[in-house]
Structure 1
Amino acid sequence: MSRDIPPPPAAEDLSRLLQMVAARRDREAFAALFRHFGPRLKTFFMRGSMSSGLAEDLVQETMLSVWRKASYYDPARAGASTWVFTIARNLRIDHLRRQRNPADLPPDPEDMPPSMEEALLGAEREWRVRKALSGLSAEQQTIIRLSYYSEKSQSEIAGELGVPLGTVKSRIRLAMNRLRALLEDET
């Protein structure tokens, strides 16, 4: 005898269920969320070499937080799964910190390579800055490149260009103001 397993809810359905919990404290909606996320959260926690019992406890904590914080969910900022798993991730980190073993902590996001989205956004931002730089005078381009790309101090720039330190400071300020204006005009 085979059981028909219903397909997992669509992202929009999960979002709608979360909004129902937030708006009306809808227990049926919460039960549906629990049925969907419970096993997935347990797998998530056990992947970090946690015991089954501890994973189940953290699932309970996560879903309790979902119930309590449902009103903070904003579908414009994140999908329901992302929001729930962020809560789970934070609870896992808190648990590991309480264990006081730094080797068990997940890697710091700053130490991780950028995601594809972050890399694309960075490339776009770099392109916009380079495009805006081309709108500066040659003198302003030189001062910005020496200061920010070559990471030279203002004193080093003054020596290299043979101009007073005050002139370097003024040129950097004027160039940055012009660059900011060009970047704001582009958006």
Structure 2
Amino acid sequence: MAVGRSQDRTAFAALFSYFGPRLKTYFRRLGMVDEEAEELAQEAMILVWRKAALFDPGKAAASTWIYAIARNLRLDALRCRSFSRDETSASERPVTQDSAPSAEEQFASSAQQEQLRKALHLLPREQAQVVQMCYFGDRSHTEIARELSIPLGTVKGRLRLVLGRLRRALEKGGR
């Protein structure tokens, strides 16, 4: 709480000395090598420092909150690793044709973008706000729910509605 309220460095040092090694061990048990585990543990603790004001002891224990941050970082790292592996394997494949989009494809893409832009402007304010926060503000569904003081299910429901509307708008434009 002291870290979140007043960015108390002494309190953070105590948190770091307690959770840093435990997070590194947690990552090692999940199959990471020492360097990766160390780096991710430090990154998790940096996020704890930055987001300490968001911690709510009424919702979870500090350890639960910190391990949730660590787990999310690990998942992000795995996604990045998977993505870079896909990119590497794609770059090793022989290129048989020009991958640049044709003029027709560019025109279709710009027309689709314009349809999407129009559809986004027609959304109800609540739905537009959730889309903005999620896709353009890079916030998680949980963060959006907390910031808007609405249930997580409402956030997910609004996003489902938006995606359905946008899909229908794009299908209409394609006909």
Q: So what's the TM-score if we normalise by structure 1?
A: 0.44
Q: Normalising by structure 2, report the TM-score.
A: 0.47
Structure possessing the higher radius of gyration over alpha carbons: 1
